[in-house]
């Protein structure tokens, strides 16, 4: 056997070995993802049995608290599904003398925020004898303020961040970078505007005009809802709806908040029911861990060029 034949055999062995290694690597990744999904499922199953979310109070009457905490988005603790269910439980309890929305949110989904606002308004009409107040803690901005505007009165701290009544849509473009490193987009669409906001395509004036119109329409709905909720308490100042935000002290001067009170003070002074019951489900460690795993898996397995849609 000559040297060329020996070299060919060695090369074939090397290729075969690489194939075996690649197969083993693929199997390992397959096993890894199966284990991750199995653990996630087990955590969700266990959390169903160990979560303690029942309302426990011996008081004949109390103030119900509903938390709106964090980014407002579908599937989050501050999303419509979670908040609306908690609100319904709070209003339906015969011992509830008043409801406090404890808000600590920078905003989020325009749709989720509007849906929560509408649900509060619906419950106010259904349970006319139960007053609804909002207490803004660190921040009640954008969608967080949208929700607060559904309350009869809004309270905050003097240093709270309040306002940001505006709408945004986030995207990104990599057209020039793609050219420099030689990346070619092979997008195929049916519909001349289907590729709008594709990061590998330049944004045309027509695209910008269309998106601007969408944002303006949503902004008008935001403004309308705030005006309906606040009425003539708002001062005549166009900056209120410009997207700017203020401290609680400045927000009171603009009519965005009514006064400075804590949840305890509102319960005692406004609702006259000192006993406070938080209707927001309290998550266990396993609940939180399962939620984090779910969020991370969603980020890995899903993506969208709309970045979650229009944001408040």
Question: Which residues in 191-228 are b (16+ Cβ under 10 Å) and which e?
Answer: eeeeebbbebeeeeeebeeebeeebeebbeebeebbee
For residue range 57-112, what is the model confidence (pLDDT) as tens digits? 788 999 999 999 999 999 999 999 999 999 999 999 999 999 999 999 999 999 99
Lowest mean pLDDT among 33-42, 105-114, 131-140: 33-42
Integer angstrom CA distances of residue 281 from 45, 66, 89 = 17, 9, 11
Whether pLDDT at 1 is above 80: no
| β-bridge pairing 245-247 and 161-163 | antiparallel
More confident residue, 305 or 59: 59
Residue 150's pLDDT is what? Answer: 97
How does the average pLDDT of the chain come out, rounded?
83
Residue 18's pLDDT is what? Answer: 66
Residue 104's pLDDT is what? Answer: 97
Q: Would you say 59 and 275 are in contact if contact means Cβ atoms under 8 Å apart?
A: yes
Give the mean model confidence (pLDDT) for residues 274-303.
62
Lowest mean pLDDT among 58-72, 153-167, 193-207: 193-207
For residue range 165-181, what is the model confidence (pLDDT) as tens digits? 999 888 777 777 777 78
Q: What residues have CB less than 8 Å from 257, skipping those under 6 apart? A: 136, 154, 155, 156, 160, 162, 248, 251
Residue 174's pLDDT is what? Answer: 75
For residue range 104-134, what is the model confidence (pLDDT) as tens digits? 999 999 999 999 999 999 999 999 999 999 9
Give the mean model confidence (pLDDT) for residues 238-264.
97
Whether pLDDT at 51 is above 50: no
Residue 268's pLDDT is what? Answer: 97
Q: Would you say 133 and 101 are in contact if contact means Cβ atoms under 8 Å apart?
A: yes
What is the DSSP code string of 192-209?
Answer: TTTTTT-TTSPPPHHHHH
What is the spatial distance between Cα 72 and Cα 145, in angstroms, rounded to a whole number? 11
What is the DSSP code string of 240-280?
Answer: GGTT-EEEHHHHHHHTS--EE--HHHHIIIII----EEE-S
**8: how many CB neighbours lie within 10 A of its CB?**
12
**Phi, psi torsion values for 141, nearest 5 degrees:** -120, 155
**What domains, with CATH codes, occur in the chain?**
62-170+197-281 (3.90.226.10)
Whether pLDDT at 276 is above 80: yes
What is the spatial distance between Cα 136 and Cα 161, in angstroms, rounded to a whole number? 8
Residue 200's pLDDT is what? Answer: 76
Lowest mean pLDDT among 128-142, 209-223, 260-274: 209-223
The beta strands (E) that lie in 19-148 are given as 62-69, 96-105, 132-141
Two tokens at 268?
């005692």
Residue 36's pLDDT is what? Answer: 63
| Structure letter (DSSP) for residue 233 | G
């Amino acid at each position: 056997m000559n040297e060329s034949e020996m070299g060919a055999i060695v090369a074939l062995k090397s290729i075969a070995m690489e194939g075996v290694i690649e197969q083993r690597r693929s199997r390992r990744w397959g096993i890894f993802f199966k284990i991750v999904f199995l653990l996630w499922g087990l955590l969700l199953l266990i959390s169903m049995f160990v979560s303690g979310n029942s309302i426990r109070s011996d008081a004949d009457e109390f103030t119900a608290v509903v938390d709106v905490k964090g980014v407002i988005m579908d599937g989050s603790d501050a999303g419509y599904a979670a908040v609306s269910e908690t609100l319904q439980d709070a209003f339906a309890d015969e011992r509830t003398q008043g409801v406090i929305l404890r808000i600590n949110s920078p905003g989020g989904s325009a749709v989720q925020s509007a849906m929560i606002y509408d649900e509060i308004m619906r419950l106010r009409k259904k349970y006319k004898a139960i007053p609804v107040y909002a207490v803004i803690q660190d921040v009640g901005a954008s969608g967080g303020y949208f929700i607060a505007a559904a309350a009869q009165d809004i309270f905050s701290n003097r240093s709270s961040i309040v306002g940001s009544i505006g709408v945004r849509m986030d995207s990104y473009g990599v057209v020039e970078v793609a050219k420099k490193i030689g990346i070619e987009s092979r997008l195929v669409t049916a519909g001349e505007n289907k590729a709008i906001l594709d990061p590998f395509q330049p944004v045309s004036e027509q695209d910008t005009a269309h998106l601007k119109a969408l944002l303006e329409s949503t902004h008008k709905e935001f403004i309308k809802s705030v005006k309906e909720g606040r009425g003539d308490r708002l001062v005549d100042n166009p900056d209120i709806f410009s997207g700017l935000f203020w401290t609680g002290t400045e927000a009171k001067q603009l009519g965005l908040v009514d006064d400075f009170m804590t949840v305890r003070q509102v319960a005692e002074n406004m609702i006259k029911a000192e006993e406070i019951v938080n209707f927001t489900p309290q998550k266990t460690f396993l609940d939180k861990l399962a939620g984090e795993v779910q969020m991370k898996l969603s980020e890995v397995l899903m993506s969208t060029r709309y970045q979650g849609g229009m944001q408040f």
